[in-house]
Amino acid sequence: MLYLLIALLAIAAVVYLIYKKVHAAASIFAVGVILLMLAALTGRADFRTTEIEATGNAFYDQLLVVDALFKARFSGIGMAIMVLFGFVSYMRHIGADAKTVVVLSSPLKRFKGSYWLVPVGFILGTLLSLVIPSAAALSLLLVATLLPALIAAGLTPLTVGAIVVTSSTIVPTPLEAGLIQAPISPT
68 within 8 A of 87, measured Cβ to Cβ = no
| Dihedral class, residue 28 (left if φ above 0, else alpha if ψ from -120 to 50, else beta) | alpha
Query: Distances in Å between the alpha carbon of 69 and those of 36, 55, 119, 137, 186?
Result: 13, 17, 41, 21, 35
Q: Cα-flanking dihedrals φ and ψ of residue 112, to 5°?
A: 50, 50
Query: Distances in Å between the alpha carbon of 66 and those of 16, 30, 39, 60, 78?
Result: 24, 11, 13, 10, 16
Mean pLDDT in the chain?
A: 78
What is the predicted pLDDT for the residue at 1? 78
Global confidence as pTM:
0.47
How far from each other are the two terminal CA atoms of the chain, in whole angstroms? Answer: 47
Digit-coded pLDDT (tens) for 45-93:
666 666 777 777 777 777 787 777 777 766 666 666 677 777 777 877 8
Q: Which of 113, 98, 108 is nearest to 145 (CA)?
A: 98
Which ranges of 24-95 does DSSP label H, i.e. alpha helix? Answer: 24-42, 58-74, 77-94
- What pLDDT band is residue 146 in, cutting at 50, 70 and 90? confident
Whether residue 7 is predicted with pLDDT greater than 70 in this model: the reply is yes
Digit-coded pLDDT (tens) for 108-138:
777 676 788 888 889 988 888 887 777 777 8
179 within 8 A of 158, measured Cβ to Cβ = no
